[in-house]
Amino acid sequence: MKGKNTNKNSSSGLPKNSITKQYLKKELKLVETKLRSDLASKQDLKNLETNLRSEMQDMKTGLRSEMQDMQTGLRSEMQEMQTGLRSEMQDMKTELRSEMRGMQTGLRSEMHNMGASLQGQITRIENKINTEMATKDDINRVITHMDKFVEIADTYKKQDLMRGEAIITHSDQLQNHENRIKLLESAKK
């Protein structure tokens, strides 16, 4: 078995030495056919590009239309909300004005009552001041009377001091007389 190779080619299933030109050409045509069927031609690519551009344009047009519809819807909703808010604000404004008028009336009434009450208190205080509190003239009269009383008290104090001195002098003289009388009586005896 010399010269014969019994090993088989792993890709073709034929013995290695038995690959022929014709076999290779056949294989090459199969690969070429397969590649051509798998690959796109320039025309196919152009058609694909045209189709994609057309679809993109359709999508763009559709999106613009949807966005326009959404914008219109949003504007409409915003207008409705604005109208509703204006109405609510007007209602609140009217309600607040009504409440403020009520509060104003109540405050005026309370202020009037407080004014009358304060006027009564002021009148009572003025009455007390006029009847129970002294005026400057009253105080001056009292001070004048007190000054006279102090003068009289000073006079009596001076007279009392003078009487005291006189009594002390008389006591001393009596004591001296008694001492002399005792001396005289003791000399007689």
- Interatomic CA distance for residues 131 and 32, integer angstroms: 136
Cβ neighbourhood burial of 19 (10 Å; 0-12, 13-18, 19+): middle
Higher per-residue confidence, 94 vs 133? 94
In a domain, residue 169? The reply is yes
For the chain, what is the domain count? 1
Beta bridge partners of 8: 15
Q: What is the DSSP string of 2-57?
A: TT---PBPTTTSSBGGG--HHHHHHHHHHHHHHHHHHSPPHHHHHHHHHHHHHHHH
pLDDT in tens, 132-186: 887 888 889 999 999 999 999 999 999 989 988 988 998 888 888 888 888 888 8
Least confident of 9-23, 33-47, 62-76, 120-134: 9-23
- The SS3 call for residue 134 is coil
User: In this predicted structure, what is the pLDDT of residue 40?
Assistant: 67
User: In this predicted structure, what is the pLDDT of residue 88?
Assistant: 93
In a domain, residue 175? The reply is yes
In a domain, residue 29? The reply is no
Average pLDDT, the chain: 84
**Mean pLDDT (whole number) for 78-107:** 92
Is the pTM above the cut of 0.75?
Answer: no
Kindly tell me if the per-residue pLDDT of 16 is higher than 60: no
**Are 15 and 9 in contact, with CB atoms under 8 Å apart?**
yes
In a domain, residue 187? The reply is yes
In a domain, residue 165? The reply is yes
Residue type at 55? E
User: In this predicted structure, what is the pLDDT of residue 188?
Assistant: 78
- Interatomic CA distance for residues 121 and 41, integer angstroms: 113
In a domain, residue 80? The reply is no
Kindly tell me if the per-residue pLDDT of 37 is higher than 80: no
Kindly tell me if the per-residue pLDDT of 127 is higher than 70: yes
% pLDDT > 90, the chain: 39
Q: Give the domain extent around 148.
A: 142-189
In a domain, residue 189? The reply is yes
Non-local (6+) Cβ contacts of 19 within 8 A are 9, 12
User: In this predicted structure, what is the pLDDT of residue 6?
Assistant: 46
pLDDT in tens, 68-84: 999 999 999 999 999 99
In a domain, residue 113? The reply is no
